[in-house]
Structure 1
Amino acid sequence: MSGQEDIRAAFDAAGLQATDVVLKKHNFLFRTGDQVKRMFFVRTGRLVMVRILESGQELVVQRADPGDLFAEASLFSDRYHCDAVGETDVRCTAYDKAAVLEALNDPAMAMLMLKAYSIQIRGLRNQIELRNIKRADDRVYSYLQSLPPDAKGWRDPHLSWKDVSRTLGLSHEACYRALALLDKSKRIEREENRCRLI
């Protein structure tokens, strides 16, 4: 059981009321400026938290898969600062914000939440490091390096390249050009949606 699933199990054991939330692909769970009333765990599908930049480009702030906490940092805010949208059809478990904050008065529960936050902070630091790489081809290559290879060395992001580009803070055109350059310069080998480093 992951640290985040431990938190969900602890909430359930503590008797926190949970509600099911079902969301269709491309529908919004919440919008920027909405009041924060709940915290979420993703059960199935994938949710993304997106900020729209002045240029109109979408920047992915958080991506959550099954078993992940979602928008938990908003427990300490009155309003959401991003949009949350389903990248796929999604099913979530939602907990009332006030009840979660009350549960965190238990030191054991607070430690579980602190552990989950520290794991997410490491992931966000990695994302920031990638976005600070100036050249798009180097940024994409570094991203591919961070993915675990299979037995034959293939690395699969399990995302569309459009979603990868949003994660890296690139336009999808820049991401595709970077992939083509990496392929042409023999730094990677491509096959469908996966790559192998050369």
Structure 2
Amino acid sequence: MSDWLSQVFSDATRRSFEKGGRLFHTGDRVLKVFWVLEGQIDLVRVTPSGNEMVLQSAGQGTVLAEASVYSEYYHCDAVARSEGAVAQLGTNVFKDRLATNRTWAENWAGSLAHSVQRARLNTEIRSLKRVADRLDFWLAVNPDTFPERPIKDIAAEIGVSPEALYRELSSRRQHGG
């Protein structure tokens, strides 16, 4: 996917970000498309109970908030989980480039389809009642990610509080799991 995106973003503006920074906030107008060059950025919503829910974890080579290209306003915050950089293009420039290149448009459609599949998988994980079941499912589909991701981020991704996830992990350690 990165090959065609590097062509689409070939003259894009580079923007650096620091850990904890925000690229945009809920309610901001959608004016740019971001392609992650380095680091990790999460799309985050805060639930009424105050817990963070991660809707997307975008790492290197990923377009952040891809569905927002077709929205007027952002529906979540983009939170940098590490320092890094993005390439940014105006949404109209991005759409115009896709409209003039069939291969890029097909690659973009495939990317959006993959995002829908990932969103459905996340919904399936969050539909499970027990923290243990959510963690087991998440580990099954992300086997190499666990040691690298902070517990707080994993908790947000599977839709539980960090405290609940810490308790589950502690229980597993005590029982040899």
TM-score by length of 1: 0.83
Tell me which residue corresponds to 1:196.
none
* Residue 131 (structure 2) aligns with: 136
The 8 Å contact of residues 137 and 181 in structure 1, kept in 2 or not, is answered as: no
- Please tell me whether the aligned partners of residues 29 and 86 of structure 1 are also in contact (alpha carbons under 8 angstroms): yes
- State yes or no: 1:71 paired with 2:65: yes
Return closer, same or farther for 1:132/1:26 CA change in 2, 3 Å cut-off: same
2:54 aligned residue: 60
SS at match of 1:104: helix
Instruction: Pick the structure with more helix per residue.
Output: 2
Match of 1:164 among 154, 170, 176: 154
Aligned residue-pair number: 176
Larger gyration radius, structure 1 or structure 2: 1
**Cα deviation 1:130-180 (Å, max 9, x = unaligned):** 11110111111221222236xxxxx73420111110111100010011112
> SS at 2:148's partner residue?
coil
Aligned partners of 1:120 and 1:157: how far apart in 2?
A: 24
> What CA distance in whole angstroms lies between the structure 2 residues aligned with 1:123 and 1:6?
21
- Normalised by the length of structure 2, the TM-score is 0.92
Deviations 1:5-60 (A, max 9, x none): 13313314xxx640011111111100011110110111111101101111111110
- Kept in 2, the 8 Å contact 1:36–1:77? The answer is yes
Task: Please tell me whether residue 184 in structure 1 is matched to residue 171 in structure 2.
Answer: no
More moved, 16-25 vs 158-167: 16-25
Q: Match for 2:150: what amino acid? A: S
- Residue 7 (str. 1) matches residue 1 (str. 2): no
Larger relative CO (CA 8 A, sep 6+): 1 or 2? 2
Q: Which amino acid aligns with 1:165?
A: A
| Mapped partners of 1:159, 1:48: distance in 2 | 12
For 2:163, the equivalent position in structure 1 comes to 173
1:89 matched to 2:83? The reply is: yes
Cα 1:132–1:157, aligned 2, differ >3 Å: closer, same or farther? Answer: farther
Tell me the percent identity. Answer: 31
Unaligned runs of 5+ in 2: none
Residue identity matched to 2:114: I
Distance in 2 of aligned mates of 1:133 and 1:180 = 20
Where does the alignment leave 5 or more consecutive residues of structure 1 unmatched? 150-154, 189-198
Equivalent residue letter for 1:30? F
Give the drift of 1:123.
1.8
* Equivalent-residue separation in structure 2 for 1:41 and 1:170 (angstroms): 28
How big is each residue's C-alpha offset from its partner over 1:52-77, in whole Å with a ceiling of 9 and x where there is no partner? Answer: 11111111011111111112211100
